[in-house]
Structure 1
Amino acid sequence: MQPTLEQLRQRYGSRYKWLVLLTVMIGTMASIMSSTIVNVAVPDLSQHFVLGQERAQWVSAGFMLAMTLSMLTTPWFLLRYGLRRTYMGAILLLLFGGVVGGLSINYPMLLSMRVAEGLAAGILQPIPSIVVFRSFDKQEQGKAMGIFGFGVVLAPAIGPSVGGFLVEHFGWQSIFFVVVPFCLIVLAMVQRLLPVNSTLMGEAKPLDWRGLLLACVGITSLLNGLVHLHDGLLQSVPMIAIGLAALVGFVFYQLRAKDALMNMGLFRYPQFAAGALVAFIYGAGLFGSTYLLPVYMQMALHYAPSQAGLVLLPAGVVLAVTIIVAGKLADLFPPNVLVSVGLALLALSFGLIAIGSSSTGYVTFMVWAIIGRIGLGFVLPSLSLGAMRGVDQGMIAQGASTINFLRQLGGAIGVSLVGIVLEWRLAVYQGTGEPLPEARLKAFNETFFLVALFCALAVLAAIRMRSPER
């Protein structure tokens, strides 16, 4: 017979909440790794399935789109099925997507499994924040978010390097199987640590499927329209217009819906509204730069792929240390101060990269990347804390889901905008007769200035993210 929550707390004592956090952290790490590890295999997938670049990019874009949308459903799943069943179901879906994806015999089968993995990842990612706010005292929340953040940043740091080794020695199929051991470990921990009668959530409500449909149409149309801007305005503008109209309709419907997918009452809290804006702009800058930097190192500065990846390795180590320190600081200082400092460091890092040239030393780029990762370490534990403190307990689940959703949506739009601006500026410089190397360098530098501007604007919003008690 499965032990109750009270029995588990008696059995493990004060360690219990940390064991639950470890459980949800490992599953989230597996989902994040599945999102980043596939990128190194895109050339092999393109060759194996005979794909053009436009179709091959959907291996990543399909995952991101599915993850963005499914984040909105996490509160409903938790209310309807509880923490144990929701988490176990999402892990099983991630496991299924990984195994069947590695055995895919055609591109539609592969793409559908990437979408399945994305749906699982979207459900999983808001859960650790919900656990922290529900299970930990305010004095321990920063430390808990720091430890969780440490695990989360390790996944994208080691994912591409592990993926490159596996693709080279065992083929593209092997990268899909990486999630299998993580999922099996988490399933065993869920069986042992999560009770069926968990009271983490409240009363179950109907799923707002109309709101979900509007969000799906809006985001899909908007991202498709942005991707096709290079094909001409006649093809892209109608899709962008449909996407924006659907998203506006989604907001107005959420204001009137009885059991809304996104509780718009959250935005009546000034600190949450500011935090939501920070999350969106920060996501655009972070994901945009993550896409831009390795391409910049190879195309504009002519470094080998291994060198382009190595430039971020010291920054990743510094980030892992910074995020633990910043988690402890979040219990001592106002979160909006830490977020503002972190975003300012990110903007400085991108601004320095934007003034780089072919004569800039390799170690210099490493230092600039470290500055940005220190900033990222300050932002990650404090953003959710600053936005959610003071929010009513009944809104915690939807608040965590909404913050993650807006950050991911900002990231998807940021990647598209960065690609569009880069292609536009490159075409402008080539049209003036600029030699290709100089044209590429100038186009990349101006695009990095755009990313730096995103982060600078987010600082203005972060300053207003003050907790009510302060």
Structure 2
Amino acid sequence: MPPADPSASLTALRERYGVRYRWLLLLSVMVGTMASIMSSTIVNVAIPDMSQHFALGQERAQWVTSGFMVAMTVSMLTTPWLLARYGYRHTYSACMGLLLAGGVVGGFSNDFNWVLAARVAEGLAAGIVQPIPAIIILRAFEPNEQGRASGIFGMGVVLAPAIGPSIGGVLVDWFGWRSIFFMVVPFCLASLWLARTFVPVTSPGGVAANREGAALDWRGLLLASAGTLCLLNGLVQLRGGTPWVAGSLFAGSLAALAAFLALQWRLLHHPAHSAREPLMNLRLFAHRQFAMGSIVSFIYGTALFGSTYLLPVYMQMALQLSPSYVGTILLPAGLVLAVTIAIVGRLADRQPTYRLVSIGLALLAASFALMLTVHLDSRIGWLVAWAILGRIGLGFILPSLSLGAMRGLSQALIPQGSSVISFVRMLGGAVGVSLCGIALEWRLAAHGDALANAASSPARLAAFNEVFIGLALLCALAMVAAWQLREHPTRHPARKDA
């Protein structure tokens, strides 16, 4: 890798672009984050078509989503190390290149194993990228600007996945599932140019990347990966396997978790005995707001990603709607979400974040519960209304949760804090996708139905409704932890270093 260009350092770019530079930097990483989030959600519209093309059962088709989320979840823990070792620009550009390659390979693949490999590659790239914007917001913006920056960033990020399912549904109807993979290509190309222009080569804090610094905690990464895989495979075995296999996998997951925590504790308290830094700094959880925010993030991720997987399947398999129609129904909700995030972002500079997060969770729970009012002969407007209500709830949560959890952290802990919050949210999401699939098949079997049957029925709707009720209860549970995000009346130090 060539030496860093001094003209591309944080100081040089600030001098060149002035006070507006922090917004140009935020815009640059926003485009890449849009691509990574789009790749994580838009494929759900194509799952039925892809399942038919490759003759997949529900269990294997679900790994198109779950495989992506496992890779994304675990790779988030490496973001602080990569930024410190290689700097913003090289880390970000490499991720965008990997995401681009995954989209192209997945789109041209004729073998499902290659499709799955492409999804894993996309997940790795998406996981590394997603903690970066929160680091920039908390370091480059003053405390009284952080909510506004989060709102503007969030509005931009959700616009692409809001419009994406609508475009994706049309593309699936017209060109098939392959077209879904190619949707990230223009975003990746744009982000690579923006990275070369505006993203500094330096690491967080404006210092030069230290390529001779501490080595990556590979043992911790392997333990985290093994634990996550055992957990998700155990959930899959609960549905189609035997109880003793599921129990063995859950035991393996717990063992990997215990070994991971023990390793992180040893690296943290005995750094002289190792050239590695802990992948997860356990001192973060000594901060009450961060600990409670992590609990909210996990439950929120479970409900959010579980429902993101469930809703398109519900509309196509239970309500018998076409992929393009599903995208059209979700479009207004996505646009409302973008507007809500922008408004709530400004509120987050003046209102307590715990209150905003609690309101959002209440609205999200209500939207799940109200799905019970939709029947086979219901007006489609009710479905649109409940989807919009849920997205308004998300709009209250997204710009507020990370700020509420991390504002009390020191400068040195912010990169690790952003990485860990993202990790627990995505771990909850990976669990949520699996749990929704398991709960759905369980309730379908209890009602004497299966998704393999062509026609829908009131019994099938009842099975979906019971899963929606479970998601509503999870959101209500998260409100208990969200109330503990209350801040103590302390002054926040100015954050001028990106």
TM-score normalised per structure 2: 0.88
Q: State the distance in 2 between where 1:358 and 1:50 align.
A: 28
Confirm whether residue 251 of structure 1 aligns to residue 261 of structure 2: yes
What is the aligned partner in structure 2 of residue 410 from structure 1?
Answer: 428
What is the aligned partner in structure 2 of residue 193 from structure 1?
Answer: 198
What is the aligned partner in structure 2 of residue 55 from structure 1?
Answer: 60
Identity %: 60
What is the aligned partner in structure 2 of residue 74 from structure 1?
Answer: 79
For the 8 Å contact 2:220–2:279, the answer to whether it is kept is: yes
For the 8 Å contact 1:276–1:406, the answer to whether it is kept is: yes
Letter in 2 for 1:366: V
Q: State the distance in 2 between where 1:253 and 1:340 align.
A: 35
Letter in 2 for 1:269: H
Confirm whether residue 220 of structure 1 aligns to residue 240 of structure 2: no
Cα shift readout 1:324-366 (whole Å, capped 9, x = no counterpart) = 0000000011111110111111111112223444454322222
What is the aligned partner in structure 2 of residue 469 from structure 1?
Answer: 489
Cα shift readout 1:398-429 (whole Å, capped 9, x = no counterpart) = 10011111111111111211222222223223
Q: CA deviation at 1:47?
A: 4.8
Letter in 1 for 2:249: M
What is the aligned partner in structure 2 of residue 132 from structure 1?
Answer: 137
Q: CA deviation at 1:382?
A: 0.3
What is the aligned partner in structure 2 of residue 206 from structure 1?
Answer: 215
What is the aligned partner in structure 2 of residue 437 from structure 1?
Answer: 457
The equivalent position to 2:189 in structure 1, one of 153, 163, 184, is: 184
Which stretch shows the higher mean deviation, 50-59 or 226-235?
50-59
Displaced runs of 4 or more, over 6 A: none
Q: State the distance in 1 between where 2:56 and 2:49 align.
A: 10
Q: CA deviation at 1:289?
A: 1.8
Letter in 1 for 2:234: G
Is the partner of 2:216 in helix, strand or coil? coil
Letter in 2 for 1:467: E
For the 8 Å contact 2:318–2:456, the answer to whether it is kept is: no
Is the partner of 2:109 in helix, strand or coil? coil
Cα shift readout 1:125-180 (whole Å, capped 9, x = no counterpart) = 11011111111100110011111111221232222222233344444443323222
Letter in 2 for 1:233: P
List gaps (5 residues or longer) in structure 1: none
The equivalent position to 2:10 in structure 1, one of 5, 11, 34, is: 5
Structure 2 counterparts to residues 343-382 of structure 1, below 5 A: 343-358=361-376, 360-382=378-400
For the 8 Å contact 1:82–1:201, the answer to whether it is kept is: no
What is the aligned partner in structure 2 of residue 123 from structure 1?
Answer: 128
Is the partner of 1:332 in helix, strand or coil? coil
Q: CA deviation at 1:40?
A: 3.2
Confirm whether residue 104 of structure 1 aligns to residue 97 of structure 2: no
Letter in 1 for 2:132: I
Letter in 1 for 2:487: S
For the 8 Å contact 1:356–1:445, the answer to whether it is kept is: no
CA spacing shift, 1:170–1:420, aligned 2, 3 Å: closer
Confirm whether residue 154 of structure 1 aligns to residue 159 of structure 2: yes
For the 8 Å contact 1:300–1:440, the answer to whether it is kept is: yes
Cα shift readout 1:50-78 (whole Å, capped 9, x = no counterpart) = 54443333222221111111011101101
Q: State the distance in 2 between where 1:462 and 1:64 align.
A: 24
For the 8 Å contact 2:10–2:206, the answer to whether it is kept is: no
Confirm whether residue 400 of structure 1 aligns to residue 418 of structure 2: yes
Give the paired residue count.
467
Confirm whether residue 233 of structure 1 aligns to residue 253 of structure 2: no
What is the aligned partner in structure 2 of residue 166 from structure 1?
Answer: 171
Q: State the distance in 2 between where 1:38 and 1:290 align.
A: 11
CA spacing shift, 1:307–1:197, aligned 2, 3 Å: closer
Which stretch shows the higher mean deviation, 157-166 or 237-246?
157-166
Q: CA deviation at 1:389?
A: 0.7
For the 8 Å contact 2:147–2:345, the answer to whether it is kept is: yes
For the 8 Å contact 1:322–1:374, the answer to whether it is kept is: yes
CA spacing shift, 1:166–1:381, aligned 2, 3 Å: same
Is the partner of 1:368 in helix, strand or coil? helix
Is the partner of 1:197 in helix, strand or coil? coil
What is the aligned partner in structure 1 of residue 302 from structure 2?
Answer: 284
Q: CA deviation at 1:224?
A: 0.8
For the 8 Å contact 1:78–1:201, the answer to whether it is kept is: no
CA spacing shift, 1:355–1:161, aligned 2, 3 Å: closer
For the 8 Å contact 2:102–2:121, the answer to whether it is kept is: yes
Is the partner of 2:448 in helix, strand or coil? helix
CA spacing shift, 1:5–1:300, aligned 2, 3 Å: closer
The equivalent position to 1:459 in structure 2, one of 479, 489, 497, is: 479
Q: Over aligned residues, Cα RMSD in angstroms?
A: 2.2
Q: CA deviation at 1:396?
A: 0.3
For the 8 Å contact 1:28–1:124, the answer to whether it is kept is: yes
Q: CA deviation at 1:196?
A: 2.4
Confirm whether residue 16 of structure 1 aligns to residue 38 of structure 2: no
Which stretch shows the higher mean deviation, 181-190 or 198-207?
198-207
Q: CA deviation at 1:238?
A: 1.4
Q: State the distance in 1 between where 2:456 and 2:115 align.
A: 36
For the 8 Å contact 1:41–1:167, the answer to whether it is kept is: yes
What is the aligned partner in structure 1 of residue 287 from structure 2?
Answer: 269
For the 8 Å contact 2:71–2:124, the answer to whether it is kept is: yes
Cα shift readout 1:224-281 (whole Å, capped 9, x = no counterpart) = 1101212231332211221122123222322222321111110000000000000000
Is the partner of 1:311 in helix, strand or coil? helix
For the 8 Å contact 2:171–2:180, the answer to whether it is kept is: yes
CA spacing shift, 1:354–1:250, aligned 2, 3 Å: farther
Which stretch shows the higher mean deviation, 53-62 or 12-21?
53-62
The equivalent position to 1:450 in structure 2, one of 470, 493, 498, is: 470
Q: State the distance in 2 between where 1:303 and 1:116 align.
A: 31
CA spacing shift, 1:218–1:292, aligned 2, 3 Å: same
Q: State the distance in 2 between where 1:89 and 1:419 align.
A: 33
